[in-house]
């Protein structure tokens, strides 16, 4: 009886593994399948890469990061405008620097790879974007809004695509990010904390480090 029971468990385990494999294969994004990219297990929403993908010792050029904002509904009578919740030119330069720093630290360095400033010298080109991006509050303080509390710094969908020298995609990833989602645990009532540009940039660095660390593990 014990042998029959063990055999049944073995068959059940095999069936579950096969079903899981089929489900994972079926979950491949159509564009990834068309480009020959295979889905990878990840803590991110979606990661796919070419078979036997290896970035060891590569030179990577980071394109300017793009940001697309989520449509925001402002209160009637509010002096704030939608553009008050957007990153200005100085902020975009800082975001570019932060992304390059974290990408290099958490994803490229473990592979003995590096960022290069000249696209012509690169083996690969990385394109990063934040879509549906929404700040918790304006980064520039207003004279009449010198103290603002929020439950998170920002929200956005982080996406990336790595292209080889011929322009072929060799890796893609995408993930929804609640940036600074837990920072309010020490605030008033355990829900909110004062929002400033300092907290925003600190939360961005922490969260991007988590995202690229997860990407690193997905491709090990």
pLDDT cut 70: percent of the chain above it:
77
List pLDDT tens digits, range 47-90: 999 999 999 999 999 999 999 999 877 776 677 788 888 999 99
pLDDT band at 16 (very low <50, low <70, confident <90, very high): very low
Beta bridge partners of 179: 154
Nearest to 95 by CA among 203, 192, 176: 203
pLDDT at 71: 87
Structural domain boundaries enclosing 120? 35-218
> What is the distance between the alpha carbons of residues 158 and 177, in angstroms, rounded to a whole number?
7
> What is the distance between the alpha carbons of residues 179 and 78, in angstroms, rounded to a whole number?
25
Query: For residue 30, is it within any domain?
Result: no
Same-domain pairing of 120 and 177: yes
Residue pair 132/156 in contact by the 8 Å Cβ criterion = yes
pLDDT at 22: 41
> What is the distance between the alpha carbons of residues 77 and 58, in angstroms, rounded to a whole number?
53
pLDDT(13) > 80: no
Question: At CA 68, angle to CA 65 and CA 70, rounded to 5?
Answer: 145
Same-domain pairing of 15 and 95: no
Nearest to 214 by CA among 82, 22, 40: 40
**Which residues does 191 contact at the CB level (< 8 Å), separation at least 6?**
151, 184
Same-domain pairing of 12 and 76: no
Same-domain pairing of 89 and 12: no
Across the chain, what does the average pLDDT equal?
84
């Amino acid at each position: 009886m014990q042998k029959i029971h063990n055999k049944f468990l073995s068959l059940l385990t095999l069936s579950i593994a096969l079903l899981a494999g089929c489900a994972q294969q079926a979950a491949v994004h159509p564009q990834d399948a068309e480009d020959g990219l295979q889905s990878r297990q990840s803590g991110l929403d979606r990661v796919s890469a070419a078979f036997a993908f290896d970035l060891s010792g590569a030179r990577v050029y980071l394109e300017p990061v793009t940001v697309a904002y989520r449509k925001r509904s402002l209160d009637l009578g509010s002096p704030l405008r939608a553009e008050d919740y957007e990153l200005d030119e100085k902020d975009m330069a800082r975001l570019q620097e932060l992304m390059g720093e974290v990408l290099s630290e958490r994803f490229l360095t473990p592979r003995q790879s590096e960022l290069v400033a000249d696209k012509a010298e690169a083996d690969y080109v990385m394109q990063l974007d934040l879509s549906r991006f929404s700040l918790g509050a304006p980064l520039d303080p207003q004279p009449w809004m010198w103290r603002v509390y929020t439950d998170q710094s920002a929200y956005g969908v982080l996406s990336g695509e790595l292209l080889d020298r011929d322009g072929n995609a060799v890796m893609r990833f995408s993930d929804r990010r609640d940036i600074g989602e837990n920072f309010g645990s020490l605030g008033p009532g355990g829900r909110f904390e004062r929002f400033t540009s300092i907290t925003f940039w600190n939360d961005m660095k922490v969260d991007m480090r988590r995202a690229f660390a997860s990407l690193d593990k997905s491709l090990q």
